[in-house]
Structure 1
Amino acid sequence: MKKRLIKISANTFMIIVTLIVIIGFLLAFIPARMTKAHTNKIVEMYMNDMNYDLTEFNRKWKDKIYKEELLADDGHSIPVYYIVDDKNYNNKTIVLVHWHESNHEAMYPIAEIFLEQDFNVVLYDARAHGNNTAKTVSFGYYEKEDLESVITYVNSKMTDKNIIGALGQSMGGATVGYYSGSDHAAKYLDFAIIDSGFTSMDAEIAWQIDSFFIPMPTNLLVKLGNISNNQIYGYTYEDVNILDAVKNNNIPTLIIHSKLDEKCPYYMAEQLFKVIPHNNKQLITFNNSKHLYAFWDEKEKYEDGIFTFIKNNKNKK
């Protein structure tokens, strides 16, 4: 009887260990894998939930949308959608960076508010999303390089210097934050807006694990996921550190976040804001919105906050 109990205990232990290892692997593997069909479907569902008409946007702006394919340094294609009136590329321009599991169309509602303020708008599909031909997502680590390529392209279209800004949501916000601390951003970017971003990949993964409906060994799973991520993709969770990146940020930066954000907790916005080493920064807080819903719940506050910030900081870089 005793031997049987020992055997059962040993088998149970091995099953638990195996499950934990598998979960650690899946934490690295699943979020990094996207397909065009999946991202398109998610955007369709999102727009239906928000009662937003993509067809109407395309009808209104299609004659002003110019598509370009950029070739990234590692060989994948970055589809860029440049919305410009009368081909006036010298106009002030905003680059919009979408969230995980979506594509550039997810940013159409925000594009509209900039178009109404006479901005040119540049959208693109992030790595492994939409028509981008990269195979995997890296949550800002390689995405910052795609954003750099897009900013370089936008600057190349201007024969006269004008404002170039970037706004990203969630993973897109993390990408903008990551890029904002680079020498390239210091040279070409006039302002950055981080909407509902996260501080680092390990902090975000840990938050998601802690949000599971059953208790999980968070630290162990993060370590296992980190090992798997490094073996599969060649970088660690620690490498994806937006908090460290923005310590080198020297451009006007606006952070937008809700206290009820269930995906990227509000404390991350406070941490990002705190470590930006200058005073040309602002944190706009929403109190009652879920992740990415602030734009929809309090659009006037969202819009006024953005354009007041841009107006007050346009000559402060």
Structure 2
Amino acid sequence: MNKKSMLRLAAPAVVASGVFGASLRLFDYAFKRVDYVPETSADKQKYADAYYRYVAWYRQQPKETWQLHADDPANHLIAHYIPAAKPSLKTVVISHGYKGNGETMANYAQLFYELGFNVLLPDDRGHGKSAGDYITFGWIDRIDYLDWLNQILAKTGPNTQIVLFGASMGGATVEMMSGEKLPHQVKALIADSGYSSIEAELTYLLKKQFHLPKYPFVPLVSLINKRRLGYYLNAVQSTTQLRKNHLPFFFIHGDHDVFVPHSMAFRNYDATQGPRELWIVKGATHVESFWLDPERYRRHVTAFLTKYLTTND
């Protein structure tokens, strides 16, 4: 066999090896934990001073550190609980975004605290103080949050009213939780900028950020995820979970979101089976709706919750 023939025979294997290697790098880039919070996008730097004022408020609040699986280092999870200023039977669970942690949700924590809520802020798997080598994009996290709900009930009693709130990946986490058997104390859910599925989100970002097609990269990343975390990416569907939901749901999304396109908000809104509201915020980029006008954001959230929570504490 001459050299040219050998190269022709080897070429498909070389290409396949290169594609799989690229898929491994994509998986690590997107799914592997990082032990820092990445800088915010340039268009949100103008909110930095306001953000750090919320963080300063958060750090000054008396907190309890809660744990899950304390005796299992690979699954040891951490959350911080801020009790309301006055004894309260209202508690919000706030789910953070991609590569964030509970502290990065300080602005939302203060909003709910000022509305009289106890506030629980978990660090998801692969984030913050919690264990985990990989980010699960809400899928395994949704089960962890059921355990956090049990801790809330043990702390505040059976008459508590619970709200689930999340932004970006946290919004999708709340959407995925909605399809689980939730305790009856969960009264309402709010998702800001949540994606409809991780496969759709990954496909969108591959094209937008890397100019790469869905095939063969997304199926290969999904296969890698199956080997590492035990499930294919097509299982991670907000819309599938929302079709099992009958609780009140408020969707918030900016119409200038180029990270999670606001078309996904319409898919999520159409999927849910319970009472639902959708607020498309004009001019808002990804998770910018709060920052554009915090008071307007508070009014919308308050108006929604007033319909489904009682005021007796």
Q: Quickly name the TM-score band, shorter chain normalised.
A: 0.7 to 0.9
Structural mapping, 1:28-177, within 5 Å: 28-36=27-35, 38-39=36-37, 42=39, 50-52=48-50, 54=52, 57-58=55-56, 62-71=60-69, 76-85=75-84, 88=87, 90-159=88-157, 161-177=159-175
Q: Which amino acid aligns with 1:294?
A: S
- The alpha carbon displacement at 1:213 in A equals 5.0
- The alpha carbon displacement at 1:8 in A equals 7.1
Checking the alignment, whether the CA contact within 8 Å between 2:27 and 2:224 is kept in structure 1 is yes
Q: Which amino acid aligns with 1:154?
A: I
- The alpha carbon displacement at 1:198 in A equals 0.6
1:237 corresponds to? 233
Q: Which amino acid aligns with 1:225?
A: V
- The alpha carbon displacement at 1:102 in A equals 0.8
1:314 corresponds to? 309
Following the alignment from structure 1 to structure 2, what is the Cα–Cα distance between the partners of residues 137 and 71?
18
Q: Report the number of matched residues.
A: 307
Q: Which has the higher helix share?
A: 1
Following the alignment from structure 2 to structure 1, what is the Cα–Cα distance between the partners of residues 39 and 287?
14
Q: Deviations over 1:137-191 (max 9, x none)?
A: 11111010121111111111113512110111111111111011111x2533111
Matched, 1:266 2:265: no
Matched, 1:253 2:252: no
- The alpha carbon displacement at 1:19 in A equals 2.9
User: What is the TM-score when the length of structure 1 is the normalising length?
Assistant: 0.86
Matched, 1:290 2:289: no
**Please, which runs of 5 or more residues in structure 1 have no aligned partner?**
none
- The alpha carbon displacement at 1:222 in A equals 1.1
Following the alignment from structure 2 to structure 1, what is the Cα–Cα distance between the partners of residues 207 and 39?
25
Checking the alignment, whether the CA contact within 8 Å between 1:42 and 1:101 is kept in structure 2 is no
Q: Which amino acid aligns with 2:175?
A: G
Q: Which amino acid aligns with 2:172?
A: A
Following the alignment from structure 2 to structure 1, what is the Cα–Cα distance between the partners of residues 57 and 255?
36
Q: Deviations over 1:45-85 (max 9, x none)?
A: 98885213647754576353222222279762221211114
The alpha-carbon distance between structure 1 residues 169 and 78, as it changes in their structure 2 partners (threshold 3 A), is same
Following the alignment from structure 2 to structure 1, what is the Cα–Cα distance between the partners of residues 165 and 57?
24
Matched, 1:211 2:208: yes
Q: Which amino acid aligns with 2:110?
A: E
| Identity score, percent | 23
1:275 corresponds to? 271
Q: Which amino acid aligns with 2:302?
A: F
Following the alignment from structure 2 to structure 1, what is the Cα–Cα distance between the partners of residues 70 and 232?
22
The alpha-carbon distance between structure 1 residues 35 and 195, as it changes in their structure 2 partners (threshold 3 A), is same
Following the alignment from structure 1 to structure 2, what is the Cα–Cα distance between the partners of residues 72 and 212?
39
The alpha-carbon distance between structure 1 residues 264 and 73, as it changes in their structure 2 partners (threshold 3 A), is farther
Following the alignment from structure 1 to structure 2, what is the Cα–Cα distance between the partners of residues 72 and 145?
16
3-state secondary structure, aligned to 2:191: strand
Checking the alignment, whether the CA contact within 8 Å between 1:259 and 1:266 is kept in structure 2 is yes
- The alpha carbon displacement at 1:6 in A equals 7.2
3-state secondary structure, aligned to 2:50: coil
User: What is the TM-score when the length of structure 2 is the normalising length?
Assistant: 0.87
Matched, 1:301 2:296: yes
Checking the alignment, whether the CA contact within 8 Å between 2:33 and 2:132 is kept in structure 1 is no
